[in-house]
Amino acid sequence: MKPVLSTHQLSKRYGGTYRVKNVNLSVHEGEIYGFLGPNGAGKSTTLKMILGLVRPTEGTVTVFGKDLGRNRRFILSHTGSLIESPSYYGHLTGLENMRIVQMLRDLPNRNVSEALKIVRLEKHQDKKVDQYSLGMKQRLGIAMALVSFPKLLILDEPTNGLDPAGIGEIRELIRSLPERYGMTVLISSHLLSEIEQIATSVGIINEGKMLFQGSLEKLKNQSRPAIRIKTQHNDWAHEVLGQYGYSPQQDGEYLTFESLTDDQVAHINRILVTSQIGVLRIEEQKKRLESIFLDMTGKENSL
Amino acid sequence: MLRRCISAEWMKLRRSRIVWILIILPVISVWIGCANYYLNQEVLTKEWYSLWSQVGLFYGEFFLPILIAIVCAYMWRLEHLNQNWKMMMTAPISASHHFLAKWIVVSVLLAFVQLLFLGLYLLGGKWAGLASNLPEELAGWLIRGWIAAVTIGTLQLALSMRIRSFAAPVGIGLCAVFVGLGLYVAGLGMYFPHSLLTIGMGVLSQTSLSSGNMLLFAVMNLFYMAVILLVAIYRMCKADVVA
């Protein structure tokens, strides 16, 4: 199956440094693709290049099988987007703002009322946007992205500024879009926990480079689980195993080993048994997705 | 597509206070001009022509260029604020249409301002008790003034698109007024937008243009409009959107 959206060696250089370097994204039809990375990793720049807001230094963007450079208007007419913070004219009402998008995209009236209903802004549609709360502006931004019911929806950190209830609501909305409207969704975030619950595929970017792309399952299997062993004499076991070149970490009542093969586990068990150290537990500890993400991006404080 | 763009531009101007600028600046210029005429009636003896020389001086030489600069800066301020460049540039519309839509809206607004100015001029003349016939050049002054005003508008729109600040393009416009005056005095008035306004509106000299000069006037305005539009639209297509 051909991807709805793909980039080839996409790069953007500002001055002497690459903000985005050789990114190859590929988003398939009906997917919710989570684009993950810490702040400043190059997510927004990549999305802006996909929308033609920023020109790539190198590389190409292909959407719906067409080259962005030559088919910008066609691609944009089937794409909805919300990049960084929402666009709005503050002196106009929410509805008037929607009307502007409606005019520019030549849409029927019912699209506007439908989109406002989806984000539950219809009661506030006659209020000036300057008087909206941050969350309401964000909802308006989402409504503007949705109003054409596009084939491809690109949302950059869409839950910014929303309260927890709003985050849950928007998450449910995004999850329903592929089935309800046949949309393909590309959504970026710096929070794995947010993406984890809705995405079918993820791409991870850090310092402008793609580190991983694939399903969440594949991401989970990327790093081998840790092995935890509990013995009757952990200190002694630590010493003995040290002689064989193993260096476990003392972790409470457990000795923890990073990335062991099955043979190594068996070997360790044999050593302990022959050294007459009673083995009480051998456990596999699956890594949490969050820590896989943090290992990859090498940032403890992605906030 | 251009029509939809223009409708969107009108929508953006709803409820905005820019309309007061369009009304107040012509009122001020006519008011000062009329007062000047009234107080100097012993030297200003040519009735409607004298009144035009006073009113037109303040309007065409100063207030109109400033008004144009403010309106154009406002048109782009709407986009510079609140990330609206992104909304504009992710719409399936070619960049040229966005610029042309603003240009057309500004041109229509300037036509409205010229008509308002005509009304105020007539009102001022009645108030001063002028009884003679209106100058036959009046329509020409107004129309040529409008053309030159649109030329200045093109320049100001291009400046305000590039410069995110509101005041800087207006300041540049103010400097251009003096440059225009200098070039006019030096006899090079045909080669600069702001002095084309001086010539077109018959502000400093009311003698009619020769047909050769009329042609040069039209060509120079078209030249400025075309070049500035091309450069601005090219720039819009090529540059990254900074929002």
Encoding tokens for residue B195? 């002095």
Contacts of A55 (CB under 8 A, 6+ apart): A49, B238, B240
pLDDT at A300 over 90: no
* Interval B139-145 mean pLDDT: 91
Q: At A303, is the pLDDT very low, low, confident or very high (cuts 50, 70, 90)? A: very low
Tell me which of B197 and A247 has the higher pLDDT: B197
CB contact under 8 A, A88 and B4: no
The interface pTM score, or ipTM, of the predicted complex is 0.86
What is the rounded CA–CA span in Å between residue B152 and residue A198?
53
Token look-up 């610029």 returns B99
Closest by CA position to A224, among listed A258, A198, A183, A193: A258
- List of E strands, chain B: none
Neighbour tally for B195: CB within 10 Å:
28
Tens digit of pLDDT for each residue in A108-142? 999 999 999 998 898 999 999 999 988 889 899 99
Tens digit of pLDDT for each residue in A29-75? 989 999 988 888 888 899 999 998 998 988 899 999 888 888 889 99
Residues of B in contact with A48 (CB under 8 A): 240-241
pLDDT at B43 over 50: yes
Encoding tokens for residue B105? 């809206």
pLDDT at A186 over 80: yes
A13 at B interface, C-beta within 8 A: no
Listed range (B37-46, B122-131, B143-152, B170-179) with the worst mean pLDDT: B37-46
Tens digit of pLDDT for each residue in B149-170? 999 999 999 999 999 999 999 9
A228 at B interface, C-beta within 8 A: no
B2 at A interface, C-beta within 8 A: no
Return the DSSP state at A128: B
pLDDT of res. A224? 67
- Calculate Rg over the CA atoms of chain A: 25
Which amino acid, one-letter code, is at A231? T
Q: Give the DSSP per-residue string, A65-122.
A: TEETTT-HHHHHHTEEEE-SSPP--TTSBHHHHHHHHHHHHT--HHHHHHHHHHTT-G
CB contact under 8 A, A83 and B86: yes
pLDDT at A233 over 50: yes
What letters, b where the CB count within 10 A reaches 16 and e where it falls short, cover B48-71? bbbbbbbbbbbbbbbbbbbbbbbb
CB contact under 8 A, A73 and B83: no
Nearest-by-CA chain A residue for B76: A89
Tens digit of pLDDT for each residue in B54-105? 888 899 888 999 999 999 999 999 999 888 999 999 999 988 999 999 999 9
* Interval A166-190 mean pLDDT: 89
CB contact under 8 A, A53 and B89: yes
Share of chain B above pLDDT 70, in %: 100
